[in-house]
Structures are given as C-alpha cells and as structure tokens.
DNA sequence: GACGCCCATGTAACCGGTTACGTATCCGCT
DNA sequence: AGCGGATACGTAACCGGTTACATGGGCGTC
C-alpha cells in the first residue's frame, strides 16, 4: 500500500478533496461534523500531506537554499546554526549546497534549486560577484553574506576594514613598530579588505611586511617559520584569520619566541579555538549573522515591499593573552 | 514576466512539451534539428526546469533529509560535511532539520519532510527509538546514526563500548587505580554505553567513581571542582566527551594539579580542540560517518534489493599529553 | 502500389495538492 | 408562499513537469 493521498482521505470520509483540504488547513466554511470526519479519516489512514505537491500549487516551498563555500569547520557550523535557528522558528527548512569546485558543478547545483526553495542565502567571498549573478536563477530573492556586490540585493557584510583597523590601533597602542601581516587567499574579498583596512590604519612610523597565506593553519605556520628563518626583526603578527594566527603561534612556540613579550599575535574571526588558546582576535559573530540573514530573507519573502538593504556589521576586538600579559 | 516554463519553451521552439522534455533530458528519439531548436529556445528564454514539479511527477526529489539534535558545534559541522560530500557527489541535496525541542515541533518538522526528500538520516542518541519510529513518515528509507534501535533499518553506530574499553585499558596500563568518570546526560545512549563499556573493562582492583555531567564543558569543570573540594584522592578522569574533559582540565589547571603526573585525563570524540589542547581521547571520525550514512542511504534508494545493514564503527584511541608525558 | 515498420512527434493523463466558481440546501424575512 | 442570502460542499482547472499511447510520414520490400 502506498502512501495515502488526499483523495484517499476524501473517499474514506465520503467528502470531496476540496473539503478535505479546507478541513485540514483550518479554513472557515467547513461544517464541524465534516471536519471531524475528515480528521478521523486522515488519522485513520496515517495521512501526511505531500509537501512537494503542496509547494507546487502554492508556489511556495517554505525552504531556503544555503550556498556556502567549502569553508573550514568552525565557521560553517556557527553560520548554519544561526540560519537554522531563525528559519525553523519561522517555519522554514534549510537546503544546503556547498560550492566546492567553482566550475559548472556550482552553477548546476544552483539551477536545481529552482522550484525547491523560495530564496537563497549565499556566502561566497572567494567568487566574483558577476559570476554569481550570472549563475543565479533569475528573480530568486537572495541575501548575500560577505560578498562583494554592487547595490541592489540584500546584503550582510562584516566590516572587515573596521575590524582590521581596531587590531591595528591595538597593536600600535602596545608600541609595536615592526608588524607582519599574513594575508588570506588572493581572490578573497574578506582577505583583501582586512589587509587594506589594516594598512590604512597604521601610522607612518610603523613598518608593515605582508606575507602570503591561504587561511589554513599550515600556511600561517609556514609563513612564520620562513619569517624566523629570514631573521628579520618583528614584534607583532596580524593574521587575516584565526587559523593562520594559530599556525603562527605554533611556529613561534616551536622557536622559543615569547608571546606576547617578544611578538604579539592577533587573528580574525574569533573561532571557538581562539578562546581556548587565548588568542587576541576580532570577533565575527557568525551565529548572529546567520540569524539575521535568514530573518532578512524571510522578511523579503513574506513582507510585501520589504526593500533591499545592505547591512554592515562591525566586529569587536577581543583582547586576550597573545597580545597582553595579565 | 514570470519564469519561463516548459510550455513557453515548447511554444518558442514550435514543438510540443513532450519533445522539449525529451530533448532536454537527452532521451533518444529526438531529431537532431528538433533538439537544437529546443536547446536554443531554452537558452533564449533562460529556462530552468522547476525541480519541484519534476520531483512531483517523478516521485523522486533527489534530496535527503537530515535530522539532528541541537548538538554542539564541532560535531555538527563534521557530520554535515561528510553527508554533504557524499550527497553532492551523487547528485543529492541536503535538507536540514534540527530537532531542538523534543515536543510536537520535532514531529511536525518530520512530517513536513514527506514529499520533500527521498530518505532520511537521523541522529538522535537522546531520544527513545520508539518515539522516533512513531514520528517517522511511514515507509521513508532511513539511516540512523548512533541511535539505539532494534534491528530492521539501516544503522550506523559508533562502538562506544569498544572505545571506552580502549580508554580503560590505557589508563590501567598507566597504573591508575582511582578513576573518576564524568558521565553524559542520563537519557543519552552514547553516554550510557561509554560508561558501561568503561566500567566493564576495569579490573577489580581499580576504584571507579561516577559523577553526573551533561556533555557541556561547564559541567565537566563543575564536576571536577566539586571533586577537588571533596578531597577524595583520584589519579585519572575519563569524561564521556571531550568538552567535559576540557572543562576538567581547566579545573585541574586552576587548582594547580599536574596533568598527567598527578591526574591523567581522557575524553571521547576527538573534536578539533582536543588536538590543540593535547587531550588523550577516542577518535570518532564524524566526517566519515556522515559520508557513509549518506552513501548507505543513497544505495538503499537507488540500488534495488539493498538490504538493511547495521554497521558498527570502532573508534581509535588517540594518546596525547594529558595521559602520558613525552 | 500496397503493406508494414520504424522513427519523430503530439495529445492528454497523471503526480498530489489548492482553490475559483457553481450549486444545493436551509434559514429568515416580508 | 416566495424570495434573498448565507453556508457547506463538489467539480474541475491549475501548478510544471513526465510519459503512455496515438498518429503520421518515410522508406524498404514483395
């Protein structure tokens, strides 16, 4: 026996499908007796409405698509948790889609979202916004997170510049003069903004050296080892994200360099690990960003005339033991 | 203008919808010229097939539902990453649904999965399997992860007992005689199995004291502080998960107790943090479990006659600095 | 030239819901 | 009694695809 459909329920209750639909959805204009019969029949048959069919006729799926890069652990879960919290509170599901490879696969995945979701939350700091726009199914409400974009859509962005500035001021206030920045991947807009904001906030008497990195812990470690080997003097490291900062810490510890006395270290993101390892960093509250993104999207879906909005979220400097002694 | 439908494409290409469908899905029996006209029309109109409608007529959604407890960060992302890796490699999407409150809400969420997904992956170590079975939409292929269940469905389980035994043997081999176990939440089957396995593997000359906990770091810290305050002698702590072990470490460090010299500490899970903090633990490779769960489910969906299978995954003991000195 | 077959294509039913619209019934009113 | 209107309900179209079946044209064969 297959799953019961609304027609089975109608037959069992000896009414029409229309009445079943009305009764089950709590519409008015249904006689109490009829409603009772329908409810009884539905329970009897173990009837569960077919969400797919429902979406088709309502043109409403109550699902939102989430498109993320294959990002590293901590971030991912925090963001998704935030999205899920808001979405499920408002009766929406989350349909996940990681954009691993940038190739056709991603575009393909996006296309298959059409008709499955009511809107999209996209986070893609590593992809050209024009490319994204081209891939999007037309006319699907979208909220972008940390994506460099022209005005037009809904967007949530972390104020990377402000965060980097705060870090710069902090290090400068500590009297550091020869600072090293370990940068993120080249095409990544977060990485670029952090570097630019940092550089712009340093006074002219501070020396800045920039090393390449890729956001991985290993790259932070390698950059730092290379730095130590080169023998240049430096008294602070600001890594473009926490994982690289942790790599740097490891390299420094390995070389017997005292942190923060000889070298202060700062990161960006405030991943959970940072707290445990007492890393000074810039807190980006991903859970909250997730909730806000979902909230904004759902508003756009449900509230008529909700207009596109760009929101810039200012992250906070969190001072810990890698820059100051207790 | 609304989104183009298959009928729009048909009109534009001056063919029937059937031909459009056939051409677009690469079926045989379509004249090359026709196919070309259809493709051109589709591109011209920016046609994207409506996945919802497609699923309805095919009775196939190519989505799998993922139902998780509101678990703590690390776990979550690892598991989902594994699920996603396998699912997207095989052309499936993931529909997330966290079971926050145990109440009606969860059942509700499950019902709305009907018609949205082809199958379910459920992880619910904290819920009575009978309750889950009752909530499930009938006849939806399901893989359970770490869920105490009778035989019948597909199931993946971590061999908690074997892991706990390995930890017991390790601590005993180190000569520890007065061991404290900080347990997980009461109704949680993982927690129970870990305790039972651990207890069963201890020789009779070892003393075991069990303290309550709830898997949170704070509970591990509190339990340990209480223990220290009570003044009982002990030389090892085995916490039912890593987060509590970390809490214990913090409490011990705060009290100036030397780890591992005075007290050895072990956890369970091998969350990323554990590696950083050099915690001896039992590695549960969640990413792999996720991939396997997805693979098994998709097999069940696509391969005829794939029979239900229970798989027990043996976790590995990872020895680090909280139990042995280098 | 007629027959039969194959190939390309169109028509329409179907998946499982929702809902506009039409109709029958019952009520109260004058 | 007859009329108007509200109320409950059924019929059938529709959402956007897929596909069983019917149809018609082209071609080879006897």
CB pair distance less than 8 Å for A56 and B54: no
Q: What angle do CA A222, A224, A230 make, to 5 degrees?
A: 105
Q: How many CB atoms lie within 10 A of CB A36?
A: 13
Least confident of A173-187, A302-316, B213-227: A302-316
* Distance CA B31 to C1' C4 in A: 22
- Whole-angstrom distance, CA of residue A213 vs CA of residue A251: 14
* Contact call for residues A260 and A324 (beta carbons, < 8 A): yes
Quote the Cα angle for A276-A281-A284, to 5°. Answer: 100
Average pLDDT over residues B73-89: 86
Check residues A86 and A131 and name the one with the higher pLDDT: A86
The DSSP output letter for A46 is T
Residue A1 has pLDDT above 60, yes or no: no
For residue A249, give both structure tokens: 């810490």
pLDDT score of A38: 95
Nearest-10 crossing angle of helices A32-45, A17-24: 90
**Could you tell me the pLDDT band of residue A68, with boundaries at 50, 70 and 90?**
confident
Decide: B15 and B35 in contact? Cβ < 8 Å. Answer: no
- Cβ neighbours for B256, distance < 8 A, ≥ 6 positions apart: none
Per-residue pLDDT at A212: 97
Per domain, the residue ranges of chain A are 6-49, 61-159+286-314, 160-284
Res B74 pLDDT > 80? no
The answer to whether A281 and A318 are in contact (CB under 8 A) is yes
A110, closest residue in chain B (CA to CA) = B48
Percent of chain A with pLDDT over 90: 69
pLDDT of residue A107: 74
The answer to whether domain A61-159+286-314 and domain A160-284 are alike in fold is yes
Q: Is the pLDDT score of B246 beyond 80?
A: yes
pLDDT single digits (tens) A12-51: 999 999 999 999 998 878 899 999 999 999 999 999 999 9
**Shortest CA distance from A45: residue in chain B:** B138
Architecture of the domain defined by A61-159+286-314:
3-Layer(aba) Sandwich (3.40)
Contact at 8 Å (CB) between B20 and B9?
Answer: yes
Residue B136's pLDDT band (cuts 50, 70, 90): low
Task: Check whether B326 has a pLDDT greater than 80.
Answer: no
The b/e string for A272-296 (b: 16+ C-beta within 10 A; e otherwise) is: bbbeebebbbbbbbbbbbbbbbbbb
Can you tell me which residue has the tokens 């940068």?
Answer: A183
The domain defined by B160-284 carries CATH number 3.30.420.40:
no
Residue B59's pLDDT is 93
CB count in 10 Å sphere of residue A81 = 20
- The confidence score (pLDDT) of residue A138 equals 62
Query: In terms of residues, how long is chain B?
Result: 326
What band does A73 get if pLDDT is binned at 50, 70 and 90?
Answer: low
First and final C-alpha spacing in chain A: 70
- pLDDT higher than 60, residue B116: yes
A60 in contact with chain B, both atoms CB, cutoff 8 A = no
CB within 8 Å: B81 and A76: yes
pLDDT above 90 (res A202): yes
Cα–Cα distance, B324 to B171 (Å, whole number): 10
Closest residue, chain A, to B4 (C-alpha):
A138
Q: What integer pLDDT is reported at residue B14 of this predicted model?
A: 94
Give the residue-averaged pLDDT of B221-229: 96
Distances B131 to A82, A88, A184, B126, B150 between C-alpha atoms, Å: 27, 21, 48, 11, 13
Q: Is the CB of B18 under 7 A from strand D?
A: yes
Average pLDDT over residues B18-28: 92
Q: How far apart are CA B316 and CA B144, in angstroms?
A: 21
Mutation site for A-interface testing, chosen from B5, B42, B47, B51 by largest number of A Cβ within 10 Å: B51
Q: How many beta-carbon contacts under 8 Å exist across A and B?
A: 133
| pLDDT at A75 (0 to 100) | 76
Q: Which of B8, B86, B93, B110 is most worth mutating to test chain A (most A CB atoms within 10 A of its CB)?
A: B93
CA–CA distance, A129 with B201 (Å, rounded to integer): 58
Peptide bond into A260 cis (omega under 30): yes
Which is nearest to B84 in space by CA: B94, B75, B73, B69?
A: B94
CA distance B46 to B44: 6
Domain range B6-49, CATH architecture: Orthogonal Bundle (1.10)
Within 8 A of A56 by CB-CB distance, chain B residues are 52-53, 56
Which pLDDT belongs to residue A207? 96
Chain A partners within 8 Å of B95 (Cβ): 63, 93-96
Structure tokens at A273: 């690990």
pLDDT tens per residue across span B194-216? 999 999 999 999 999 999 999 99
Residue with tokens 């390790």: B170
pLDDT band at B71 (very low <50, low <70, confident <90, very high): low
Beta bridge partners of B265: B237
Instruction: Report whether CATH 1.10.1740.10 matches the domain B62-159+286-314.
Output: no
Its sign, for the CA torsion A123, A129, A131, A135, is: positive
Least confident of A165-179, A268-282, B165-179: A268-282
Which structure tokens are listed for B271?
Answer: 């969350």
Residue recorded with tokens 């019969």:
A37
Q: Is the pLDDT of residue A194 over 60?
A: yes
pLDDT band at A151; cut points 50, 70, 90: low
Determine whether A102 is exposed, middle or buried from the number of CB atoms within 10 Å of its CB (0-12, 13-18, 19+).
Answer: middle
Contacts of A113 in chain B (CB under 8 A): 51
Residues 210..269 of A with a Cβ closer than 8 Å to B: which? 246
Q: In the structure encoding, which two tokens stand for residue B193, read together?
A: 């199995």
Q: How far is the CA of B17 from the C1' of C4 (A)?
A: 29
Closest listed residue to residue B119, CA positions, set B89, B147, B90, B95: B95
Mean pLDDT (chain B, rounded): 90
* pLDDT at B109 (0 to 100): 77
**Under an 8 A CB cutoff, do B48 and A116 touch?**
no
pLDDT at A104: 64
Instruction: Answer yes or no: is pLDDT of B6 > 90.
Output: yes
Instruction: Quote the tokens at residue A320.
Output: 């810990």
- pLDDT tens digits along B146-181: 887 665 678 999 999 999 999 999 999 999 999 999
Predicted local distance difference test score (pLDDT) of residue B103? 59
Phi, psi of A33 (to 5 degrees): -60, -45
CB B128 within 8 A of CB B189: no
Of the candidates A58, A61, A27, the residue with the CA atom closest to the CA atom of residue A298:
A61
Reported as a single tens digit per residue, the pLDDT across A244-266 is 999 999 999 999 999 999 999 99
Q: What is the mean pLDDT of residues B242-270?
A: 95
pLDDT bucket at A162, cuts 50 / 70 / 90:
very high
Which of A3, A63, A112 is the closest to B139 by Cβ? A3
- How many Å does it take to go from CA A282 to C1' C23? 69
User: In the predicted model, is pLDDT for residue A271 greater than 60?
Assistant: yes
Percentage of chain A exceeding pLDDT 70: 90
- Res B284: pLDDT: 92
pLDDT of B137:
62
Six token digits for residue A32? 């109490």
Q: What's the CA gap between A83 and A122, in Å, rounded?
A: 11
Over chain A, what is the mean pLDDT?
90
Give me the residues paired with residue B311 across strands. Answer: B156
The answer to whether B78 contacts A74, with C-beta atoms less than 8 Å apart, is no
Higher-pLDDT residue of B105 and B204 is B204
CB contact under 8 A, B73 and A272: yes
CA distance A246 to B204: 44
Q: Are B193 and B284 in contact (CB under 8 A)?
A: no
Mean pLDDT along residues A54-69: 93
Q: What pLDDT does A149 receive?
A: 65
Q: Where are the beta strands (DSSP E) in A151-280?
A: 154-158, 178-182, 207-211, 236-239, 264-266
């Amino acid at each position: 026996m297959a799953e019961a459909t609304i027609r089975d329920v109608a037959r069992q209750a000896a009414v029409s499908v229309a009445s079943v639909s009305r009764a089950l959805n709590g519409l008015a204009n249904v006689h109490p007796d009829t409603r009772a019969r329908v409810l009884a029949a539905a329970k009897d048959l173990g009837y569960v409405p077919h969400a797919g069919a429902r979406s088709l006729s309502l043109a409403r799926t109550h699902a939102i698509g989430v498109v993320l890069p294959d990002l590293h652990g901590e971030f991912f879960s925090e963001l998704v948790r935030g999205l899920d919290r808001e979405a499920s509170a408002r009766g929406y599901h989350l349909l996940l889609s990681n954009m691993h490879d940038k190739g056709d696969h991603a575009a393909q995945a996006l296309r298959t979202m059409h008709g499955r979701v009511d809107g999209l939350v996209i986070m893609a700091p590593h992809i050209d916004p024009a490319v994204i726009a081209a891939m999007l199914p037309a006319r699907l409400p979208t909220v972008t997170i940390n994506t460099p974009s022209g005005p037009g859509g809904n967007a949530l962005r972390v104020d990377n510049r402000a965060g980097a500035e705060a870090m710069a001021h902090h290090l400068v206030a500590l009297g550091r003069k020869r600072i090293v920045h370990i940068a993120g991947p080249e095409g990544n807009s977060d990485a670029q903004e952090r570097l630019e904001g940092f550089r712009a906030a340093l006074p002219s008497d501070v020396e800045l050296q920039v090393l390449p990195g890729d956001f991985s812990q290993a790259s932070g470690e390698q950059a730092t080892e290379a730095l130590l080997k080169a023998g240049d003097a430096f008294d602070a490291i600001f890594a473009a994200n926490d994982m690289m900062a942790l790599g740097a810490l490891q390299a420094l510890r390995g070389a017997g360099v005292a942190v923060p006395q000889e070298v202060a270290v700062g990161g960006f993101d405030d991943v959970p690990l940072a707290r445990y390892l007492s890393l000074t960093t810039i807190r980006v509250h991903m859970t909250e960003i997730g909730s806000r993104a979902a909230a904004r999207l759902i508003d756009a879906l449900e509230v008529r005339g909700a207009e596109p909005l760009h929101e810039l979220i200012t992250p906070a400097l969190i001072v810990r033991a890698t820059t100051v002694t207790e």
